Structure 1
Amino acid sequence: MGYHTFDAAKASKLEDAARRYRYISREELLWALDVNGTETVADLGSGTGFYTDDVAPQVESVYGVDLQAEMHEQYREKGLPENVELVESDVVDLPFDDDTLDAAFSTMTYHEFASEQALEEIARVVRPNGRLVVADWSADGDGEAGPPLEERYDGDAVVTELRDVGFEIEFWATRRETFLVVGVLNA
């Protein structure tokens, strides 16, 4: 689908903790990632690093992947944790070797990059038994927040798409406005 990317001019909205945690909390994200401190992880569509900052203290290293240099500039101004490396890239062409990542996650950005090519690329860079966590706006929502309904996916579609590229679904749930899917790459 990949309709559009978030407007970097509105990036300050990405730092609104009360609003962001309403849709996926730090605790829920960390539970889904199931990290122990030794992992290399990528935040796909990292923006200003709101969730990257939550994950960074819990892992060895994090790549903040975003297509927009302006988002990285704002993240640098905010201050980067020492173990975060910013990577300007589209998800369909990640600059990582095969099996580089222990996990990857996407918070409210899946609808911006979702395609067979992007998912195959994620499966290429995540190691066998590595995790992919996707939290995004649900097509089953009411559309009061987030992108228009026609730009969203429903959880069933995401589950099918992840299975098609080799992920076994460990958990998935649909909520009022969002869904959460946790996949583990088949060995």
Structure 2
Amino acid sequence: MATTLRGGAAVSGAAGCAPGDVAVCAAPHLFRASGAGRLDDEGRLAVLSVDTLASLLELSGVESLVDLGSGTGFYTNRLAERTTGLVYAVEVQPQMLKRHLEGGAPPNVRLVQADFRLLPLPEASVDRALSVYAYHEAPDIVWLQQVAKVLKPGGRFVIVDWRRSHGAVEHGPPMDLRATWEEVVEALTPHFSHVEGRDLDRFLFVAIGVK
């Protein structure tokens, strides 16, 4: 059973990764919880700001949001302060969620332990979806269909990840794990009515699907 943590209480959710059995569902190249401290480094904002994400998501201040691969909640919490809607922090690793919970979160954040491929959210229930630095960790692209299912009509899905470019080797995962925005747009196309993408800078790309 997936687990949703609300203010320290564990509540059963839909089927997903079993607690403590991360290896079954997680990709072998998943960013490990042992390095979670790096995810809380404020220097990350110099590479990708909250303003940039809020703009890409087109947040007006009332939308619900699901953050896929939320880690310790670095971006989740900051974006939750930009909206009155519920914000779901979906993370497969219980250790990451524990750190997020212990660090605190805005009252509109819900922590959810789940595999991307088995999102424990109702169909057409959220306005926005976000994946920051998680696309390259996913074991396959089946999860994109799951994201499309939980988005409301007109919902917006934003993916930001590391460019597969030899000019971007200073940061991010190994080059063979990366994608181009063109490849991600192609993967999104069967599930969304409108797709687009571009390079954000020398390190990052963005791909967007609108349901």
What's the TM-score once normalised by structure 1's chain length? 0.92
Alpha-carbon separation, structure 2, partners of 1:81 and 1:120: 29
Matched, 1:24 2:48: yes
Give 5+ residue unaligned stretches, structure 1: none
- With 86-95 and 163-172 compared, the bigger mean Cα shift is at 163-172
SS in 2 for 1:17: coil
- Cα deviation for residue 3 of structure 1 reads 4.9
Matched, 1:183 2:181: no
8 Å CA contact 1:155–1:174 kept in 2: the answer is: no
Alpha-carbon separation, structure 2, partners of 1:22 and 1:110: 21
Note the alpha carbon deviations across 1:95-115, whole angstroms, 9 max, x for none.
Answer: 011101101001111111263
Rate the CA distance shift 1:14–1:29 in 2: closer, same or farther, 3 A.
Answer: same
Matched, 1:156 2:182: yes
Alpha-carbon separation, structure 1, partners of 2:41 and 2:157: 24
2:58 counterpart letter in structure 1: D
Query: Residue 85 of structure 1 corresponds to which residue in structure 2?
Result: 110
Runs of 4+ residues deviating >2 angstroms: 141-144, 169-175
**Residue from 43, 53, 65 that aligns with 2:67:** 43
For the aligned residues, what is the CA RMSD? 1.5
8 Å CA contact 1:99–1:124 kept in 2: the answer is: yes
SS in 1 for 2:70: coil
Give 5+ residue unaligned stretches, structure 2: 1-26
Give % identity: 36
Matches for 1:96-111 after TM superposition, within 5 Å: 96-111=121-136
8 Å CA contact 1:64–1:85 kept in 2: the answer is: yes
8 Å CA contact 2:185–2:196 kept in 1: the answer is: no
- Aligned residue pairs total 183
Query: Residue 152 of structure 2 corresponds to which residue in structure 1?
Result: 127
Matched, 1:144 2:170: yes
SS in 2 for 1:29: helix
- Cα deviation for residue 16 of structure 1 reads 1.0
What's the TM-score once normalised by structure 2's chain length? 0.82
- Cα deviation for residue 138 of structure 1 reads 1.1
Q: Which has the larger radius of gyration?
A: 2
